[in-house]
Amino acid sequence: MTDQLDIARPARSTLPLTRIVTIGVLVALAVVPPLAKLSGYDFYLDLATRLVILAIAAVSLNLILGYGGMVSFGHAAYIGIGAYAVGIPAYHASYGEFDAIASYNGFFQIAIAVTASAVFALITGALCLRTRGVYFIMITMAFAQMVFFLFVSMETYGGDDGLVIDTRSELPLISLDDALTLYFVCWAALTVSVYLVHRITNSRFGLALQGAKGNEARMKALGFNTYAYRLTAYVIAGAMCGFAGALLGNFTTFISPEMIDWTRSGELIFMVLLGGTGTLIGPVVGAVVFIGLEEILSDITIYWHLPFGILLILTVLFFRGGIMGMVAMLVESRRD
């Protein structure tokens, strides 16, 4: 438990600062990518769409990592489950095996993605939360790898080669084939996700969850069922990440087991740590910096993982609060 609490120490921040940064980041994401699209830079809109979707997954991970002290190294499994929940019905519909209207229905596919992710989180979480520290980290990764090899073995859906989604999810009055529309749907989903986490963490449930992270023994002595609180948060986070996976499947129109690999879970943890654990907008900021640096460094050298690794080490050693923690420290130092 100590290991998890150490890595998931919240950043120092003030409420006004959090609100200002949150609104500022969300407004910037709503304005800058569409302007880039209208200016003829379509690539940046695609990059921003991927960024926003991964930010949703990072926000969901932060709910259990930053506020619950649960370091899951298998969170990317829900991205894969959500993506395949879009791809599998579309695959069968394209061959006339399923009703096309129902199989391409966006609400139907999202319902499958969220439900399947929540059920998987409930089953695996019930076992994972019996452990602590490095054991919890390793068992979450083990379950994710099981899902990875399950999809690798399913040759009907492309196996290791992946599966092409020929038709995106169909929604009333909305066409996800339009890049700008798809982006605003993903942005709206991110905004709702951030607000949902805000409401959860400031509710009695969220306060109990954070109390269990800080001192579980004391919370149990007060009569709280900390196991139930942790498991509920774990299921909510899995369902949110599964929804992000459904959006990612629609964006890429190609799904593969690579989405579930443990390295993807590591990237999500990196985003949360970089932005600031236990902060509302930290995971989104971390996703922006992560995707931005990835694009810049990959153009410079094929060994771009090396500076990424160094950055993570420096963040963990010297900036436990991540970017949001540094911003809060600078604001406080100016006030002093």
pTM: 0.91
Q: What is the architecture, at CATH level 2, of domain 2-335?
A: Orthogonal Bundle (1.10)
**CA torsion through residues 144, 149, 153, 157, sign:** positive
Q: What is the pLDDT of residue 5?
A: 43
Residue 40 has what DSSP assignment? T
CA-CA-CA-CA dihedral for 31, 32, 36, 42, to nearest 10 = -90
Maximal C-alpha separation, the chain: 68
pLDDT at 268: 95
Q: Residue 11 phi/psi, 5° resolution?
A: -80, 150
- CA–CA gap between residue 200 and residue 27 (Å, rounded): 22
Rounded-to-integer distance, Cα 138 and Cα 319, Å: 25
**Chain segment 1-38, per-residue pLDDT in tens:** 444 444 444 444 445 777 888 899 999 999 999 999 88
Which parts of the chain sit beneath pLDDT 70?
Answer: 1-15, 96-102, 335-336
- Would you say 273 and 90 are in contact if contact means Cβ atoms under 8 Å apart? no
pLDDT at 14: 46
* The predicted structure's pLDDT at residue 2: 44
Strands 174-175, 163-164: pairing kind: unpaired
| pLDDT in the model for residue 329 | 79
Per-residue CA distances from 129 to 14, 32, 68, 144 (Å): 31, 41, 11, 15
Residue type for position 211: G
Q: Which of 202, 198, 244, 181 is nearest to 55 (CA)?
A: 244
- Identify residue 195 by its one-letter amino acid code: Y
Q: Identify the pLDDT of residue 306.
A: 85
Q: Residue ranges of the domains in the chain? A: 2-335
Under the phi-then-psi rule, with left for phi > 0, alpha for psi from -120 to 50, and beta for the rest, what region is 31? alpha
Give ∠ CA 170-171-172 in degrees, rounded to 5. 130
Residue type, 141: M
C-alpha–C-alpha distance, residues 325 and 247, integer Å: 30
Residue of 327, 324, 308 lying closest to 275 (CA atoms): 324
Contact 246, 86 (CB under 8 A): yes
Q: How far apart, in whole angstroms, are the C-alpha atoms of residue 290 and residue 199?
A: 26
Whether the CB-CB separation of 165 and 85 falls below 8 Å is answered with no
Segment (H or E) for 174:
strand 174-175
Report the alpha-carbon distance of residue 214 to residue 247 in Å, rounded: 34
Question: pLDDT digits over 247-291, tens only?
Answer: 999 999 999 999 998 889 999 999 999 999 989 999 999 999 999
> 331: exposed, middle or buried (C-beta count within 10 Å: 0-12, 13-18, 19+)?
middle
